[in-house]
Amino acid sequence: LPEHLTVAGGRLHIGGHDTVALADTHGTPLYVTDEDRIRANYRRLEDALTAHYPKVRVLYAAKANGNLAVFRILADLGAGADVFSAGELCLALAAGMQAEKLLFNGSSKSTADLALAVETGVKVSVDSLDELRQLNAAAAAAGKTVRIAFRVNPAIEVPTHPKIATGLATTKFGIPAGQILDAYREALACSNIDPVGVHCHIGSQILEVEPFVREMEVLIDLARDLLALGVTIEFIDIGGGLGVPYHRETDRAPTPQDYAAAVMPVFLAGIRDLGIEPELWVEPGRSLIADSTILLTRVNSVKEAYKTFANVDAGFNLLVRPAMYDSYHAVVAANKADAPAEREYTIAGPICETGDLLAKDRMLPALAAGDLIAVLDTGAYGFAMSSQYNSRPRCAEVIVRGDDAALMRRAEDVDDLTAPMQQPAWQQ
């Protein structure tokens, strides 16, 4: 277990808080986040990078966890954000992040998105020439200049789930390397666009450093060509993607130090050679926040069938990663954390689909109705990807820090399901 997860009196604790007591107080299912763990993860990454080069900017990849309390922690640490929607942009601003620290990413921005980018003064990662022209028009209409990077598609294969490998030549993301110089040429000629950086993101949950090294090489090569075109390079953004060891016993995830030790020499040699000193931007999501959070879920019933199923109250409505990517999350019997593992269980959610299994074939202590299961490493892409499928109100999220524990989002109820619904006049 990571150091913020401990066992005392046979019960799992997070940040010193008894998970059984948290579940009794707030009900289940329940997400619980340890603020100090986010802070420690952030500092470890920032320190690892700034040990090599001072001009580093960490942009939190807001899609990983969109709770305002999480944004505020990162704002307090000095982070900016990679925002991928108008909603993420507004939340980042609401949390106190300055517009100059925000990069508006996205492969399909609407007219309204572009207008918001112009109005708020954030930088924009432009994903197509069509978008560039629309953005220039929006900026001209407002009498403003927008600072942009293009997102380059580096055509790099990465060892991860195909649904989250974003840097392949075949994906929808970025501008193919063969077209990128023409794109910058056109941007230089735009009246209200100022190209000031380069952006790339190769994928997520990457457990090797080598793809990031190749990505950095692509970006340095691109920077060289851009300088020749007359582009001023204020930042080089290598995106996010550093993985976490979900298989706690067998995964070997690079540490932030490993990551920095692999990527920074290429960056430093490159910029020295080019005679520039741009900011280095990184966009971590998962590595900052995944392990800060657990999902507590109660066993409703145990069934001996083809397998032994522990039927719990959280399903892919609250944690879609196992169903969507066959992801593995470690599970702990939170109220029997000292007990020996005795039997194999498959942890099944309450959703009406065969694929609604949070964990398969796990050795756990003997389970009974009422027991509490903790699903680990659920801070990134956990609640953020939740839904109300099967008309299930979303659960609460609690955050702990030191001796304090507080709701950072209340549980929804049936009224939250019906509130946005309208009754057509002919049904009244």
C-beta of 240 vs 270, nearer to ligand LLP? 240
Residue 200 catalytic? no
C-beta of 18 vs 283, nearer to ligand LLP? 283
- Residue 230 φ/ψ region, left for φ over 0, alpha for ψ in the -120 to 50 degree band, beta for the rest: left
- HSE of 395, CA atoms in CB hemisphere, 13 A: 27
Question: Whole-number minimum distance, CB 200 to ligand LLP, in Å?
Answer: 9
Collapse the DSSP code of 60 into the 3-class scheme (helix H, G, I; strand E, B; otherwise coil) and give the result.
strand
283: contact with ligand LLP by CB under 6 A: yes
Rounded to an integer, what distance in angstroms lies between the CA atom of residue 363 and that of residue 302?
14
Question: Whole-number minimum distance, CB 10 to ligand LLP, in Å?
Answer: 32
46: contact with ligand LLP by CB under 6 A: no
Of 90, 200, 352, 395, catalytic: 352
241 annotated as a binding-site residue: yes
C-beta of 165 vs 374, nearer to ligand LLP? 165
Rounded to an integer, what distance in angstroms lies between the CA atom of residue 103 and that of residue 85?
10
Rounded to an integer, what distance in angstroms lies between the CA atom of residue 101 and that of residue 9?
45
315 annotated as a binding-site residue: no
The binder of ligand LLP chosen from 19, 41, 128, 287 (CB under 6 A) = 287
The binder of ligand LLP chosen from 241, 270, 349, 365 (CB under 6 A) = 241
- How many residues lie near ligand LLP (CB under 6 A)? 23
- Choose the stretch contacting ligand LLP; rule: CB under 6 A; options: 37-45, 212-220, 236-244, 367-375: 236-244
C-beta of 241 vs 365, nearer to ligand LLP? 241
Q: Which of residues 374-393 bind ligand LLP (CB under 6 A)?
A: 380-381
147 annotated as a binding-site residue: no
19: contact with ligand LLP by CB under 6 A: no
- HSE of 289, CA atoms in CB hemisphere, 13 A: 29
C-beta of 325 vs 328, nearer to ligand LLP? 325
Strands (E), 138-234: 146-153, 175-176, 193-199
| H/E run at residue 224 | helix 210-229
Rounded to an integer, what distance in angstroms lies between the CA atom of residue 82 and that of residue 61?
5
Rounded to an integer, what distance in angstroms lies between the CA atom of residue 257 and that of residue 45?
7
309: contact with ligand LLP by CB under 6 A: no
Residue 389's closest CA among 370, 412, 369? 412
The binder of ligand LLP chosen from 201, 336, 392, 401 (CB under 6 A) = 201
Q: Which of residues 62-81 bind ligand LLP (CB under 6 A)?
A: 63-64
Rounded to an integer, what distance in angstroms lies between the CA atom of residue 269 and that of residue 423?
64
46 annotated as a binding-site residue: no
Rounded to an integer, what distance in angstroms lies between the CA atom of residue 248 and that of residue 330?
7
285: contact with ligand LLP by CB under 6 A: yes
321 annotated as a binding-site residue: yes
284: contact with ligand LLP by CB under 6 A: yes
- Give the burial class of 50: count Cβ atoms within 10 A of its Cβ; 0-12 exposed, 13-18 middle, 19 or more buried: middle
Q: How far is CA 188 from CA 121, 140, 228, 418, 428, in A?
A: 19, 14, 13, 50, 58
Q: Given the rule CB under 6 A, which residues bind ligand LLP?
A: 61, 63-64, 82, 105, 164, 166, 201, 204-205, 239-242, 283-287, 321, 325, 380-381
Active site residues: 352
Q: Which residues are part of a known binding site for pyridoxal 5'-phosphate?
A: 241, 283-286, 381
Q: Which residues are part of a known binding site?
A: 241, 283-286, 321, 325, 353, 381
